[in-house]
Copies of this chain bind each other. A is one copy, B any other.
Amino acid sequence: MFFQIIDILGTVAFAISGVLVALDKKMDSFGVLIIAFVTAVGGGTLRDVMIGIEPVSWMRNMTYVYVIVGTTVFTILLRKKINYLRTSLFLFDSIGIGLYTVVGIETGLIAGLHPIICIALGTMTACFGGVIRDILCNEIPVIFRKEIYATACIIGGLTYFLLRKFMADTNLIFIIALIVVIVIRLIAVKFKISLPSLYKGEEL
């Protein structure tokens, strides 16, 4: 129940981020809905397809469909007021990537894959919805250029496998790794931390 609420909050945040980018590109209502959908379920879909879990998750659980459609309608209607929610949105989004990371890792573990592959799957689940969103909107994906985002997922993933060496309580491991991702993301944005630039001294 607790996890389900987190999951829905994450889906809502991801869908809203999709709607906002699509509105920015002056898409019509169908385009906005598709971008919201892809942002929310794209990462998990890519993961499922690569592992071979088919039909992919969102086709077997109507909750996602209802939540995303509802969120899209709601966001379109209230888009002029959505700015007041930016802080909550950012918090939901961070919760979302934390949750998606750990869910991705556990999906990989169930498929019997190597820890490094599991961490890659977790990061993919959390980040590639946004990557597909940006490609459909004809932008270079934002997470390839700035922001500690994927890095938070990777560190959360490392924490997950480190804890597994010392702890047996999988629920607790789940929650700690989730919190690690969220906290790193919050701190990075709060203090404007980004990856060290590869282009120091070069003209940009």
Q: Are B140 and A144 in contact (CB under 8 A)?
A: no
A-B contacts besides A27-B140, A55-B111, 15 pairs, CB < 8 Å = A25-B144, A26-B145, A27-B145, A28-B195, A30-B150, A31-B145, A32-B198, A34-B150, A49-B50, A50-B55, A50-B56, A52-B54, A59-B113, A65-B116, A138-B138
Select A26's contact among B27, B54, B143, B199, beta carbons within 8 Å.
B199
Q: Are B59 and A198 in contact (CB under 8 A)?
A: no
Question: Residues of A with Cβ closer than 8 Å to B?
Answer: 22-23, 25-32, 34-35, 45, 49-52, 54-56, 59-60, 62, 65, 76, 111, 113-114, 116-117, 120, 131, 135-141, 143-146, 150-151, 194-199, 204
Q: How many protomers of this protein does the assembly include?
A: 3
Select A51's contact among B55, B117, B145, beta carbons within 8 Å.
B55
Q: How far is the CA of A74 from the CA of B54 in the complex (A)?
A: 38
Q: How far is the CA of A145 from the CA of B60 in the complex (A)?
A: 29
Write the nearest CB–CB distance from A142 to chain B, whole angstroms.
10
Q: Are A198 and B23 in contact (CB under 8 A)?
A: yes
